[in-house]
Amino acid sequence: MKMFIPAVMLMSSAGLLAGCTTDQYGNQHASRELKGAGIGAAGGAVVGVLTGGDVLAGAAIGAGAGAIIGAVTNDNNRYEDRDGRRYYYDNQGRRYTYDRSGRRRYR
């Protein structure tokens, strides 16, 4: 148990340092990893309460799993302009969007 508390403190401080990102316009927002860690921590704490286990351990495990899932599912090719319109870049550097039927539209 004595080794568990420093590990949790180290993971949570690393998560706080890497949690916020700044987009190309200078706006700061929470990263996908931070959002995943928050959702995972809440879910892990609920599972810990419902099963009668350790709530802090469940929250720590859930936060770690949520942060990993958030990092893996992050789409690095997606961008947004100031109006909230999403656009992407393919391997050749061409910019495209998706229309309502799911087809690519190059610009």
Domain edges within the chain: 1-74, 78-107
Q: At residue 20, does pLDDT exceed 70?
A: no
Question: First and final CA of the chain: distance in angstroms?
Answer: 57
What is the enclosing helix (H) or strand (E) of 11?
Answer: helix 4-17
Question: Which residues, 6+ apart, have CB-to-CB distance to 96 below 8 Å?
Answer: 87, 88, 89, 90, 104, 105, 106, 107
For residue 52, which phi and psi values (nearest 5 degrees)? 80, 15
* Higher per-residue pLDDT: 91 or 43: 43
Residue 86, pLDDT > 60, answer: yes
Q: How confident is the model at residue 26 (pLDDT cuts 50, 70, 90)?
A: low
Looking at the predicted structure, is the pLDDT value of residue 87 above 60?
A: yes
Residue 16 has pLDDT above 60, yes or no: no
What span, in angstroms and rounded, lies between the C-alpha atoms of 4 and 12?
Answer: 12
**Is residue 92 pLDDT above 70, yes or no?**
yes
